[in-house]
Amino acid sequence: MVNIIVLMKDIVDLTEIKVDPSTQRPILAGLSRKISDVDKRAVEAAVQLKEKHGGKVVVVSLGDDKTRTALREALAMGGDEAYLLRDPAFDGSDTLATSRILAAAIRKIGDYSLILCGEMTLDSLSAQVGPRISELLELPQVTYARRVELKGDKIMAERDLEDEDEVVEVSMPALVAVTREINEPRIPALMNIMRASRKPLQEWNCAALGIPSEEVGAAGSAVKVLEVKAPPMERKRIIIKAETEEEAAKSLVERLIKDGVLK
């Protein structure tokens, strides 16, 4: 049996984001939210390991009241219990402060053999939270894992290093950050969705975690984001005129070569 903690983040649906042309800032109000894609694969990996070896899956997320929906989805996928870390003091946390919060929650939960997370969340692409948590908890870590197996008290993982593959072995407890290629997440059945509403979902704030307020939020962050803007994009509005399709294609290719798009 193995007890697994999965770190999960819910993000806005990136396909729905639009940019305000007057300010170049993204419009986020009213957008739907969902589990970050790679984090959902971490949940699926945890459930598959539980189905094979026994134990339980605990899902942890830092967020707000809307994050409950994503946590319930993770429970419907096969998670056994969930924790929502929510406090106004957490607002503005960068990866450092976020890692402190999640590490404190993991310490409070205790009794785990494996921590799983996505290699990165798709809203920030920082890939820092997992490694920071392993350092705070003094645990061995495996990043970019596209296959994870348990053998006794060891974790065998296959790492995707782009130019080559690497197979590593670490002792539990450990933290493993998985890639998108590890699996295809299941779609929960209706009965599992109904059961998820009855599974335990607790909420912890700053006081419950025992973290000093100066170590979280903007006060505990090493990076301050001043603003987020989309780069301006302008079309050249070049119209190619020709007598035939072949001439038009030739003119287009010549133009693309001139602009450096094609060689």
The pLDDT, as a whole number, for residue 193 is 96
Pair (153, 190) in one structural domain: yes
Both 169 and 256 in one domain: the answer is no
pLDDT the model gives residue 13: 85
Choice among 175-179, 235-239, 255-259 with the minimum mean pLDDT: 235-239
Which of 185, 254, 217, 223 has the alpha carbon at shortest distance from 42? Answer: 185
The answer as to whether 221 is a domain residue is no
Number of domains in the chain: 2
Regarding whether 62 and 17 lie in a shared domain, the answer is: yes
pTM: 0.86
227 CA to centre of own chain: 22
Q: Is residue 227 part of a domain?
A: no
Would you place residue 17 in the very low, low, confident or very high pLDDT band (cuts 50, 70, 90)? confident
Q: Are residues 198 and 126 in the same domain?
A: yes
96 and 177, same domain (yes or no)? yes
The domain in which residue 238 lies consists of 233-263
Q: 23 with 101, same domain?
A: yes
Residue 193 CB-density burial (10 A; 0-12 exposed, 13-18 middle, 19+ buried): middle
CB 57 within 8 A of CB 114: no
Helix, strand and coil content of the chain, in percent to the nearest 5, comes to: 35, 25, 40
Q: Residue 187 — very low, low, confident or very high, per pLDDT cuts 50/70/90?
A: very high
Is 222 within the bounds of a domain? no
**What tens digit of pLDDT does each residue of 112-145 get?**
999 999 999 988 888 999 999 999 999 999 999 9
In a domain, 135, yes or no: yes
Look at residue 201 and tell me if it is in a domain. Answer: yes
What pLDDT score does 123 carry? 85
* Phi-psi region at 18: left, alpha or beta (left = phi > 0; alpha = psi -120 to 50): beta
Q: What is the mean pLDDT of residues 172-185?
A: 96
Assess whether 249 and 137 both reside in one domain: no
Contact present, 176 and 70 (Cβ < 8 Å): no
Q: 236 pLDDT band (50/70/90 cuts)? A: confident
**56 CB-near residues (< 8 Å, 6+ apart):** 3, 4, 50, 80, 81
By the 10 Å C-beta count (0-12 exposed, 13-18 middle, 19+ buried), 58 is classed as buried
Give me the helices (H) in the chain, please.
37-53, 67-77, 95-109, 129-136, 190-196, 206-209, 245-258
The encoded tokens of residue 19 equal: 């940019």
Residues 238 and 125 in one domain: no
Residue 233 has pLDDT above 80, yes or no: no
Mean pLDDT of 108-115: 96
pLDDT tens digits for range 196-224: 999 999 999 999 999 999 999 999 999 88
Same domain, residue pair 195 and 248: no
Phi, psi of 221 (to 5 degrees): -95, 145
Indicate whether 115 and 68 sit together in one domain: yes
Q: Is the pLDDT of residue 78 over 90?
A: yes
Spell out a b/e string for 59-97, using b for 16 or more CB atoms within 10 Å of the CB, else e. bbbbbeeebbebbbbbbbbbbbbbbbbbbebbeebbbbb
Sorting pLDDT into bands at 50, 70 and 90, what band is 190?
A: very high
Q: Which helix (H) or strand (E) holds 26?
A: strand 26-27
Assess contact for 130 and 177: CB atoms under 8 A: yes
Grouping H, G, I as helix, E, B as strand and the rest as coil, residue 217 is coil
Confidence of residue 15 (pLDDT cuts 50, 70, 90): confident
Question: Quick check: is 77 in a domain?
Answer: yes
Residues 112 and 205 in one domain: yes
Q: What is the CATH number of the domain that holds 141?
A: 3.40.50.620
Residues 235/111, Cβ–Cβ less than 8 Å: no
Residue 225 lies in a domain: no
Tell whether 139 and 237 lie within a shared domain: no
What mean pLDDT comes out for the span 20-32?
84
Residue 224 lies in a domain: no
